[in-house]
Amino acid sequence: MSTVAGRAVRVVVADDHQIWRAGIRADLGESFAVVGEAEDAPGAIETARRERPDLVLCDLNMPGGGGMAVVQALAAELPVVVLTVSESERDLLDVVAAGAVGYLLKSTRSDDLRASLMRAAEGEPVFSPQLAALLIGEYRRLATTGGDGSLPLSEREREVLAHVARGESYRTVGDALFISPKTVENHVRNAMAKLHLSRRHELIRWAVDHGIT
């Protein structure tokens, strides 16, 4: 059987539907060992940090922040693959910008899923074919329009950034946009990741330079 370093690939599976987790466990077969399961993002993060698997496989839409929260928390430590029903280009780009090593559709055939996850455990990017085409198209668009290699900000991220650039606190921004301060912080973090920035003042400077105030 195919293994990583002569052993089964250790996987943490996170999905809020127990039946789906059971199905994934069965589909993975003997080449993989499911060492932990979770039904929400906080549980996935905690389980992954405890078990230190070769790979984290998580749904995009789960309680506690979903797959995006898992990717943001773990991508620097472990390979994370999002397995989802969403074919949204926005979801794909956001997950990639946050650091996921893969984005696969739940309609992926079992054989293809196993092969993709085996590559992902080695750190190779994996995407469902139709989504890979979207990703390539986006980077081609950036290249042909003189983009700087950063992923575009969503409308909500630009809206949040406009408030933050005016010096407003996360709480004030949240009150103005009817979202929580934590959600504001997440939008700011996502924007920084997409723009390859590491400090908030760099983000504010970028906003001013691009007329987002």
Write the pLDDT tens digit of every residue in 25-73: 999 988 999 999 999 999 999 999 999 999 999 999 999 999 999 999 9
pLDDT digit string (tens) for 105-147? Answer: 999 999 999 999 999 998 888 888 777 666 666 555 544 443 5
Measured in whole angstroms, the distance separating CA 111 from the mean position of its chain's CA atoms is 23
Q: What fold characterizes domain 155-209?
A: Arc Repressor Mutant, subunit A (1.10.10)
> Is residue 83 predicted with pLDDT exceeding 90?
yes
Coil/strand/helix, residue 79: coil
Query: What value does the mean pLDDT take over residues 96-108?
Result: 89
Per-residue confidence (pLDDT) for residue 22, from 0 to 100: 93
What are the residues whose beta carbons fall under 8 Å from the beta carbon of 53, sequence distance 6 or more? 10, 11, 12, 35, 36, 78
pLDDT digit string (tens) for 3-12? Answer: 565 689 999 9
* Rounded Cα–Cα distance for residues 2 and 18 (Å): 27
**What is the CATH superfamily name and number for domain 9-139?**
Response regulator (3.40.50.2300)
* Rounded Cα–Cα distance for residues 107 and 85 (Å): 7
Per-residue confidence (pLDDT) for residue 150, from 0 to 100: 56
Any idea of the CA torsion for 182, 207, 190, 87, to the nearest 10 degrees? 120
Any idea of the CA torsion for 78, 131, 136, 127, to the nearest 10 degrees? 30
pLDDT grade for 198, boundaries at 50, 70 and 90 = confident
* Rounded Cα–Cα distance for residues 74 and 68 (Å): 10
What are the residues whose beta carbons fall under 8 Å from the beta carbon of 213, sequence distance 6 or more? 162, 165, 166, 207
Locus of tokens 């910008």: 97
pTM of the full predicted structure? Answer: 0.64
* Rounded Cα–Cα distance for residues 167 and 189 (Å): 16
What is the distance between the terminal CA atoms of the chain, rounded to a whole angstrom? 56
Domain segments of the chain as ranges: 9-139, 155-209
* Rounded Cα–Cα distance for residues 83 and 61 (Å): 10
